[in-house]
Amino acid sequence: MEEKIHVLSPDVADKIAAGEVAERPSSVVKELVENAVDAGADKITVEIKNGGIKLIRVADNGKGIPSEQVPTAFLRHATSKLNTADDLYNISTMGFRGEALSSICAVAKVEIITKTAEAETGVHYIVDHGICGEADEIACADGTIMVVEDLFANVPARMKFLKKDSTEAGYISDLMTRLALSKPNISFDYICDGKPVFKTSGDGDLTNVILKVYGLKFAKAVMPVDYFENGVKISGVIGKPELSFGNRTKQTIFVNGRYIKNHVIAKVAEEAFRNAVMIGKFPFFVLNIEVPPEMVDVNVHPAKTEVKFANEKQLYDIVYHAVKNAMYGIKVSEEKADQS
Ligand code: ADP
Ligand code: MG
């Protein structure tokens, strides 16, 4: 049979793109929470059931979407955050690819309730496999509620690759922890299978977030990181060396407020702990690296957890110095404690 070259139908193309953005329940939570952050919300409630497969509900008090724009928001490459290709080199929002909502609604049942401050009432839409139904007027507060149900029910291959509910819930909890750490100014309320897991105050204090997500033992054993060199600002906290672990799950790195995975930066930070932490143990830290937007490319991967830096070597040195400095703070405070 002769196979003709043809452009894929939007439905198939969406499902392929969906596989990259909506890889598993935690990736859906990440996209929805990032949208809430971009909408300027300072209160975000996340509720999941059965590892997010049965239900993911994200409610925010952000700016909402004007009713007539909601159907467009669910189209692929539809975004309010990027206009020209040049904007790609100066990204200040978490999202910009305009792929999340279209991807999610290709693989799940989605409902949205949204209201802008200007609108008198809110609207409710049911999105069925990418197609927005009729709008219903609904009384609600300003902001947006996204409800995602039966994730991957129409993608059996993806469903099979998911781990058990408790493992998927674990990934979501880990993500929620890091999102809360990345935005101490936002109050995050996280509920898993009907049980409240944590609620941060949104008072802007990272140590208070650490107290809520990791507990008192952590909050009492941290030292601030506050460093500036060559246009790069590094803030956050490091844990005292005795607060160390058998793996890196308690290490968090943000670049311009975005949670990223970068083993090189983690290793550089660990290097600064050398001789203080036992071999095979990993220290605790939350590092927020702020670089000028043009020095970092976040458009490397659809999930945006990998980034590229313009001047890697220099950045690694700065991270090292920042952590070393904070370590020095620990030493000084311990010496003071010894003297008194
Ligand atoms: P992106 O975030 O890359 O722009 P998305 O598919 O995630 O793409 O969202 C599409 C658009 O829908 C966004 O650009 C934004 O205008 C709007 N939107 C999505 N979620 C929200 C929300 N919670 N509050 C306000 N607007 C939203
Ligand atoms: Mg988005």
**For the CA of 144, the nearest ligand:** 1
* Better-scored residue on pLDDT, 260 or 171: 171
- Report ipTM for this prediction: 0.98
User: Confidence band (pLDDT; 50, 70, 90) for 304?
Assistant: low
Position 88 scores a pLDDT of 66
Burial letters 155-185, b for 16+ CB under 10 A, else e: beebeeebeebeebbebbbebbbbbbbbbbe
Q: Go through the domains of the chain in sequence order and give each one's CATH number.
A: 10-199 (3.30.565.10), 221-339 (3.30.230.10)
pLDDT tens, position by position, 279-291: 889 999 999 999 9
* Better-scored residue on pLDDT, 173 or 99: 173
Q: Write the DSSP assignment of 69-121 as a string of letters.
A: GHHHHTSTT--SS--SGGGGGS--SS--SS-HHHHHHHSSEEEEEEE-SS-SS
Alpha carbon of 85 to ligand 2 centroid (Å): 17
Question: How do 43-49 and 55-60 pair as beta strands?
Answer: antiparallel
pLDDT tens, position by position, 113-122: 999 999 999 9
Q: Counting atoms of ligand 1 from 1, which one is nearest the CA of 100?
A: 6
pLDDT tens, position by position, 49-66: 999 999 999 999 999 999
Minimal-distance CA residue to ligand 1 atom 17: 73
